[in-house]
Structure 1
Amino acid sequence: MATKKSVSSLNDADLKGKGVFVRVDLNVPLDDNFNITDDTRIRAAVPTIKYLMDHGSKVILCTHLGRPKGVTPKYSLKPLVPRLSELLGVQVKMANDCIGEEVEKLVAELSDGGVLLLENVRFHKEEEKNDPEFSKKLAALADVYELDYLVGAVANPKKPFAAIVGGLKVSTKIGVIESLLGKVDILILGGGMMFTLYKAQGYSVGSSLVEEDKLDLATSLVEKAKAKGVSLLLPTDVVIADKFAADANSKTFSGAVEERAKRVFNKLKGKPQKSLADVLREYNLPPGLFPQNVKCYELDESKGKLIVYLPSVCEVCFKDSSILRYATRVKATLSRGKLTGIEGMKTKVIMWVKVSSVTVESYKSDKVWFTAGVKKTRPKDAYEMPREAIQVEEF
């Protein structure tokens, strides 16, 4: 059975003169002229490669680029060679394939400390099928194998433990995500797959890439995270553009995922976040203004910015027979006795009308003022306790 070690635990005796097969992630973006537009992934792989070079290894790099269907010239790794050579300080050799006699000859000719980049491994359909025979052909090229493509696998992590997973598609990360749900306290998901997860929760994502056939899968991941007590965080900072190009008209929308993560960590460390009801009570507002099923909230006390997250569009009927309806995200400005600039709340006044503010004039007042087109009072005690909401189809 092969022995598993980290790269840093290997020395000259393990590496000198040995062929080391390294599965790296060099899937970098290229422009129409095949120029690298972001070399972050290449630079991230450099420390591992240099360590192996410095210890006399014959380094064989294996990676993919894009999702080609067979041999596709525009997905060739040749444009990566100049930048990789520059960063490593040696001339990186390039193979025209990733298996076969020609590749075996190039490996045999590699000098100690030399680097060979294999052609796009996904030019072979067997790669994505995890074909055993294809794996054997790759394995035959080397003596030592290093997986730099997925890093950070932790058997017994210290708590609290957070993990970050990025990628274009939920479907290709399902195994990793489900495995991590059994280990982490916080799971932050980024990259293009966020749009599938957002759409599964009822958000509009425009023309962003969505795996329509994986919406149920995305919903199940959210439910599994909740069942395991894992805080699942998605990006709240996005750039919206009219096209996918450098000259697109765009606008950036910023959120507070970092602050949200800090609050979760504080809770895990024994510094629990106050309930939304308690916060409203402190600001002299009815604690039952929002329903029981609030997922979480964000409050920037310096600016009074409040965002309340709910699992679905829902409504609550209060004991004075008034009804409030909530979007999945309600935004407002919170101050003493006032919730103003509200977005995402409606009330039924013959017809549904948007609520723009909720105010309580004094600590002793037994009335709460709702502004929904016109300003009207309701009994404050009708909103004293958070009530159970019922899910509705649309806001």
Structure 2
Amino acid sequence: MAKTVVSDLDLKGKKVLMRVDFNVPIKDGVVGDTSRIVGAIPTIKYVIEHGGKAVLFSHLGRIKTEDDKKELSLRPVAAKLSELIDKPVTFVPETEGAKLEEAINNMNDGDIVVVENTRFEDVVNGENVKRESGNDPKLGQYWASLGDCFVNDAFGTAHREHASNVGIARAMEAENKPVAAGFLMEKEIKFIGGAVNNPKRPFVAILGGAKVSDKIGVIDNLLDKADHIIIGGGMTYTFYAAKGFTIGNSLVEKDKIDTAKEILAKGGDKIVLPVDSVVAPEFNNDAPTQVVGENIPDGQMALDIGPKSIELFENVLRDAKTVVWNGPMGVFEMSNFAKGTLAIGKFLGDLTDATTVVGGGDSTAACNELGVADKLSHVSTGGGASLEYMEGKTLPGIAAITDK
């Protein structure tokens, strides 16, 4: 079902409440990676250029105590947004009350206000009340009362039912006020939803990461949809155990070996496993390495896919028309075990006649490190959200946006 988008709305003179994803790394008051802020700018610019008043809501980190609030204010994020968008941004150090209401009521068309971290509402007067993350309906109603329409551009939180996304949306709809997707949200729906549900073929999914348990839902959903499912990363070795290979000291989920056997039986030739691995005697970037085949020797642990596996995966991907990738091929944070992940990222960047969609922190980091992100069709901003979307789950943040 197509969703209402911000470009469908009449924004002139309207107070436009926007849920953005400004959950960015901050150290000593300085914003690190700005990609999530940059990702929201096209929608923010559209709102203010069409005469709207942009009121931005976002969470930042997790608030469990009053002390957490000192380190997790959105003030430096508001300052960074002002710098990136080259326009004044008003920061309101409140999540509710007279100061916030006054700041919004005093806005002129084209102004931008950033509201304090929505998760400050999870701890009130020292008590852990989770008003935001628990989707307190009164909080959602209050925030909704501050605006004329709601635009959700935070795909990264779409799998969570919070007051600042689902709560505001429901309260808005109850008052017949418009609820729309921002351009970033629209792109996520188009590329991830489109790739999984209506792919051009051959359709290849690449799934990596440490645990089979994290990806079972995705594999189950894709077995009937993908032409091939490439498995990499630590979860490989649970599949190896299911096939009777020796795995040495490699990561394994013993309680998921039977599940892996079922997946292999159901998937047959669709499932493509590595045929060699880079192993080391310990989990250390400086440990001596060797490349071995499908049986991992005693005393060794597999930490990356080997060169024959890279070649095999590239051959499977060569003719693909749709590729979805989530999860690294090895211990990407260690340079000596990042080669498999980087090789896959580079290959995808060179696929010119395919829709390529990447999600998950390490996969995204690999594409950014290689400088190929702009060559891909879409790099998702939501790790957990993109994974659940690939599982075929209904994401509450998307469901709450008005259908066209």
- TM-score by length of structure 1 reads 0.47
Q: Choose between structure 1 and 2: higher strand proportion.
A: 1
- TM-score by length of structure 2 reads 0.46
Q: Which of the pair has more CA radius of gyration? A: 1
- The structure with higher relative contact order (CA 8 Å, sep 6+) is 2
Q: Choose between structure 1 and 2: higher helix proportion.
A: 2
